[in-house]
Amino acid sequence: MTEQKMFNRLEDFISIARKGEKVDLTVVLNKRIFTPKFVSHTMGEPEDEIDIYIFSADYLFVVAGEAMKVTKYYGSGVEGKSLIAIKNNIYVANERLKMDYKRLREAKIIFLEKYWD
C-alpha cells in the first residue's frame, strides 16, 4: 500500500508546482452567512442573535489526476452593517486574496482570478 500525502495548505501545492509537476486549479469564492444560536439561560438571548458573514475561497486542485480541496478564510463581518463597513471588509479580503494569487502565479499555476464585489 502506498503512503498518501496530506495536502491541506496552498504552500503544499505551490511546492509541487515549483518542482515542475502540473497543478490544475479552480477557485470558488464564497460569502457564507452564519447566525450563532444561543441556548436560553446561558450566553445570551435569542434577540441578541446577529448574522455574520465570512469570505472564503475554495481552491480545487488537481494533481496527477487526483482532486483535492483547500479552503481558506479571508475576512468576516456583521451582516446589515453600513455599506462602507462591508466595502472595507471586501477590500481587505480581496487584498489578502491577491497575495495568495501572486504566490500561485509565481509557481506557474494557471487559474482564473476571481474577486468579491
User: Which residue in 8, 73, 85 sits closest to 34, CA to CA?
Assistant: 73
| Extents of the domains making up the chain | 10-106
Tell me the per-residue pLDDT of 16-31, one tens digit each, with 9 for 90 and over: 999 999 999 999 999 9
Q: In terms of C-beta density within 10 A (0-12 exposed, 13-18 middle, 19 or more buried), how is residue 27 classed? A: middle
Tell me the per-residue pLDDT of 43-92, one tens digit each, with 9 for 90 and over: 555 566 788 999 999 999 999 999 999 999 999 999 888 899 999 999 99
CA torsion sign for 36, 39, 43, 46 is: positive
Helical (H) or strand (E) element with 80: none
Q: All 3 cell numbers of residue 31? A: 460569502
Section 3-24 average pLDDT: 87
